[in-house]
């Protein structure tokens, strides 16, 4: 049994937002080899209040009543002026009667890990603001956490978008990503190099929609809706016309099925500040005669079909 904390900017299809973070939470619940200890929320894909409400709502839909949800950072580390309010259509419709756990996510994250050193993995599928703050307030956290598995970054290529040159989670708070990379904590990064290859098609969505459980049909409908959204709003991206990427679930799967992914040691840095290259990763694959010391393991290839079967089998059981 692998104990994990899931740190997420969960939006689950809230207007203009991706669905894969919700699927990552569902996968963390469905995998019998995972024990979900805590869900911490962070600003990113949506505002932190919406992420909190929607995490509570999704856990209720999954029939999970014993996993606390705690609210975390509302803004990136160096941009407190960017706080966003939660829309009434979210707070007025979801999580009714539910409340987050008391406290602040970085503090509770550090407290739980320090209470069980070497026993808890953090799976971070949003911006790394909470994780960086936890590392800052607890000096022993970097050695006490079992591992930090991060959905973020692009290491072997580029995003191809001048407005967002770094992968979204890193671009949203590159200063936090830099802090995590410099922390010395054991960490694996699952970036766009591999996550864009793991996709749900319309046929997969129909398979989920016809499953006998309560959650799988909801997941199938959400998948169809998100593919339709991408078709309308990203006409220049051929791969997004009839399928959608499962970025965040792949990071969850990396805990129990690391063999799905090919890993490489690397020295990784990130461009910080409000500059044109904000959030871009600088990756050294340690091929020179005198390479720098590695600070991370990065995903460089993935068995996409094996992941999809793993994902659909577990989602179909919900």
Residue 17 binned pLDDT confidence (cut-offs 50, 70, 90): low
Distance CA 290, CA 287 (A): 8
Closest CA relative to residue 2, chosen from 103, 116, 104: 116
Q: Any catalytic annotation for residue 257?
A: no
Closest CA relative to residue 166, chosen from 73, 89, 273, 279: 279
DSSP string, 92-158: TTSSTT--PPSS-HHHHHHHHHHHSTTTEEEEE-S-SHHHHHHHHH-TTHHHHSSEEEEE---SSS-
Paired residues of 36 in beta bridges: 4
From 29, 229, 247, 310, the catalytic residue? 247
Is residue 280 over pLDDT 60? Answer: yes
Computed over every residue of the chain, the mean pLDDT equals 94
CB 214 within 8 A of CB 318: yes
Is residue 15 over pLDDT 60? Answer: no
Q: Could you tell me which residue, 230 or 173, shows the higher pLDDT?
A: 173
Residue 239 binned pLDDT confidence (cut-offs 50, 70, 90): confident
Which bin fits 116, alpha (ψ -120 to 50), beta or left (φ > 0)?
beta
Which range, of 4-13, 69-78, 188-197, averages the lowest pLDDT? 4-13
Residue 269, CA atoms < 13 Å, CB-side half-sphere:
7
Residue 281, CA atoms < 13 Å, CB-side half-sphere:
28
Pairing type for strands 243-245 and 69-71 reads unpaired
Residue 14 binned pLDDT confidence (cut-offs 50, 70, 90): low
Q: Which domains does the chain have, with CATH numbers?
A: 2-198+246-315 (3.90.245.10)
Residue 257 binned pLDDT confidence (cut-offs 50, 70, 90): very high
Cα dihedral 136, 277, 75, 151, rounded to 10, equals -70
Instruction: Please name the helix (run of DSSP H) or strand (run of DSSP E) that holds residue 182, with its range, or none.
Output: none
| 159-188 per-residue burial string, b: 16 or more CB within 10 A, e: under 16 | beeeeebbbbbbbbbbbbbbbbbebebbbb
Distance CA 40, CA 132 (A): 13
pLDDT tens string 182-231: 999 999 999 999 999 999 999 999 998 988 888 888 888 888 888 888 88
- 193, two tokens: 């190099």
* Predicted TM-score (pTM) of this structure: 0.95
Q: What is the per-residue pLDDT for 127?
A: 98
């Amino acid at each position: 049994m692998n104990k994990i904390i899931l740190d997420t900017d969960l939006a689950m299809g809230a207007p203009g937002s991706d669905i894969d973070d919700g699927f990552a939470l569902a996968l963390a619940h469905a995998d019998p080899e995972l024990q979900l200890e805590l869900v911490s929320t962070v600003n990113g894909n949506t505002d932190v209040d919406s992420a909190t409400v929607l995490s509570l709502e999704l856990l209720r839909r999954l029939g999970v009543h014993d996993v606390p949800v705690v609210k975390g950072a509302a803004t990136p580390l160096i941009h407190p002026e960017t706080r966003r309010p939660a829309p009434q259509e979210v707070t007025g419709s979801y999580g009714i009667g539910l409340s987050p756990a008391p406290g602040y996510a970085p503090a509770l994250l550090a407290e739980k890990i320090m209470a069980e050193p070497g026993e808890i993995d953090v799976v971070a599928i949003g911006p790394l603001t909470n994780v960086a703050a936890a590392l800052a307030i607890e000096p022993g956290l970097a050695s006490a956490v079992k591992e930090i598995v991060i959905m973020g970054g692009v290491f072997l290529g580029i995003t191809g978008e001048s407005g967002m040159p770094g992968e979204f989670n890193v671009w949203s708070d590159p200063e936090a990503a830099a802090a995590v990379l410099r922390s010395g904590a054991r960490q694996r990064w699952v970036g766009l190099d591999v996550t864009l290859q793991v996709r749900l098609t319309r046929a997969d969505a129909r398979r989920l929609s016809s499953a006998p459980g309560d959650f799988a049909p909801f997941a199938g409908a959400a998948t169809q809706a998100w593919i339709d959204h991408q078709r309308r709003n990203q006409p220049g991206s051929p791969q997004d016309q009839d399928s959608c990427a499962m970025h965040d679930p792949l990071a969850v799967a990396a805990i129990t099925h690391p063999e799905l992914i090919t890993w490489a040691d690397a020295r990784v840095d990130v461009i910080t500040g409000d500059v044109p290259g904000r959030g871009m990763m600088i990756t050294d694959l340690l091929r020179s005669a005198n390479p720098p010391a590695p600070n991370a393991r990065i995903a460089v290839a993935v068995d996409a079909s094996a992941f999809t079967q793993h994902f659909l089998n577990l989602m179909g059981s919900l």
